[in-house]
Amino acid sequence: MVKTIKNGHLYWDGCDTVALAEKYGTPLYVMSENGILARTQELHRDFLDKYDNVRVAYASKAFCTLAMCKLMEKAGLALDVVSGGELYTAIQADFPPEHIEFNGNNKSREELVMAIDYGVGRIIVDGLQELALIEAVCAELGKRTQILFRITPEIKADTHDFISTGQKDSKFGIPLNPEILFPQIEAALASEAVDLLGFHFHIGSQLADNSTHLAAAKVALHLALEVKKRYAYELRELNYGGGFGVEYVEGDVRQPYRYFLDPLMALTEAFCDEHQLTRPTIVIEPGRSIVAEAGITLHTIGSIKELPTIRTYASIDGGMTDNIRPGLYQAAYTGLVANKADSATTQVVTISGKACESTDILVKDLAVAPLAAGDLFATFTTGAYGYSMASNYNKLPIPAVVLVKDGKDQLIVKRQSYEQMLQNECLPERW
Ligand code: LLP
């Protein structure tokens, strides 16, 4: 169990969160290594070891640090990166290039040079313009590269609009319109620089139902068949993206990976048998489902403001700067008072952030133990898209990240200092 309660304190992977807050300060992200590994082990058991010719690339955008890249390598996963910065992190972590997949809807020439020079395993190409850029970079570097085309399967996922990506009106992927799609495939097949492996889609995030993945997989499989018919060319790889949901609050469902993957594999194998296609390698790219529930954030309670007959606001020493998700997607969270973890919850408060924004509310109307300034508040399920989306708004420093396992803690990201926040700033010389 990652979460335990001892002597009234919340423990995370065997570590007393109150002691962690004293040692490292707050706000503090705490990531459980055992929590992360439980999810990668489930992926091994129910996918990687169960099916031939499959791969899992961790979508590093969910939580990208040197230590996380290393942990994913040790756990036998590949890595999905979407920017020069994520790629640089992977390179600094010595992540094996052949196991890196480079996504993104607007890769720059510099990013492509970095990726192709490092020898990344795959580039997921988002359109003809990018293909031309890749060809130019390959020519310059005297290299070839393997690619997949990201397609827009034209399926609306049942999730917040802001994290739905596979619908027809999307900035991601190549539309299915044959007049747009097939010339791109022809260009790739004719190219000396690239080896076209297959198609990629990602339909959205935080999905609790497998039907959208299944519908999108059908689209990709039909396209693979069409490519074989038109060009006598068998695609070797299909990437079904990520998007597997997690539990933020009671009522959310975190389905086991097999709930998504078994029907997807059955559909894929049946389709390939029926149409005499060699079953391509199947790749998935989970991000959130690997790290979200393994992470918590610790904040110290400061000002408590009671508005009679309205609500009580309890402010923390962070907020939207370390977790933008409530403000951006109306995401719901839950938490508890970590130093009063077994006390009865007798008070309803709204946990508010310290940024100068009315939307900076972390948790609305939460039942908590009687609160006082100086208490420690722990928010659950903040391991994904928390640290990775943190900002310096109001010039708040990015918090530290500590990795915990079996009662041992290890700092993996130091707290940003005020000096570091200003290190790239200067005054105009003419002053
Ligand atoms: N692959 C691609 C191409 C993606 O665009 C994404 C997420 C993933 C994989 C991983 O999806 P996951 O398994 O994590 O759902 N900031 C938002 C989430 C944006 C996700 C964008 N793409 C949030 O905090 O909910």
For residues 270-281, give the mean pLDDT. 98
User: Which one of the listed residues 64, 138, 356, 426 is annotated catalytic?
Assistant: 356
Strand positions, DSSP E, 243-355: 281-284, 295-307, 311-316, 335-337, 347-352
pLDDT at 291 over 80: yes
Is 118 marked as binding a ligand? no
Q: Residue 294: helix, strand or coil by DSSP?
A: helix
Q: 213 CB under 6 A from ligand 1?
A: no
Atom of ligand 1 nearest to the CA of 165: 5
pLDDT digits (tens, 9 = 90+) for 119-160: 999 999 998 899 999 999 999 999 999 999 999 998 877 777
Domains of the chain: 3-30+293-421 (2.40.37.10), 33-291 (3.20.20.10)
Q: Would the pLDDT of 290 be above 90?
A: yes
Residue of the nearest CA to atom 24 in ligand 1?
Answer: 385
User: In this predicted structure, what is the pLDDT of residue 157?
Assistant: 74
Q: Is the pLDDT of residue 163 over 70?
A: no
The residue ranges of DSSP E strands in 232-310, in sequence order, are 237-239, 281-284, 295-307
406 Cα: distance to centroid of ligand 1 (angstroms): 29
From the CB of 62, is ligand 1 less than 6 Å away? yes
Which residues are 297's β-sheet partners? 29, 379
Q: Is 230 annotated as a binding residue?
A: no
Q: How many helices (H) and strands (E) does the chain have?
A: 12, 20
How big is the CA angle at 297 (ends 316 and 392), to the nearest 5 degrees? 65
Q: What is the pLDDT of residue 171?
A: 86
Q: How confident is the model at residue 170 (pLDDT cuts 50, 70, 90)?
A: confident
Q: Which residue has the higher pLDDT, 171 or 331?
A: 331
pLDDT at residue 169 in the model? 81
Quick: pLDDT tens for 307-322.
Answer: 999 999 999 999 999 9
241 CB near ligand 1 (under 6 Å): yes
Yes or no: say if 64 and 51 are a contact pair by the CB < 8 Å rule: no
Mean pLDDT computed over 171-183:
91
- Mean pLDDT, the chain, as a whole number? 96
Q: Is 285 annotated as a binding residue?
A: yes
The CB of 198 under 6 Å from ligand 1? The reply is no
Rg (CA), the chain: 23
From 125, 257, 285, give the residue whose CB has the most ligand 1 atoms within 8 Å, as the site to mutate: 285
Residue 400 has pLDDT above 70, yes or no: yes
Distance of CA 245 to the CA centre of its chain: 11
Give 242 Cα–ligand 1 centroid separation in angstroms: 7
Residue 260 pLDDT exceeds 80: yes
Q: What's the average model confidence in pLDDT over 361-388?
A: 98
Residue with more model confidence, 169 or 216: 216
What are phi and psi for residue 348, nearest 5 degrees?
-110, 125
Amino acid at position 171, single letter? K
401 and 31 in contact (C-beta within 8 Å)? yes
Residue pair 278/237 in contact by the 8 Å Cβ criterion: no
Nearest residue (CA) to ligand 1, atom 4: 202
What type of residue sits at position 34?
Answer: N
Segment 71-99, tens digit of pLDDT: 999 999 999 999 999 999 999 999 999 99
Please tell me the predicted confidence (pLDDT) of residue 366. Answer: 98
Concerning whether 15 is annotated as a catalytic residue, the answer is: no
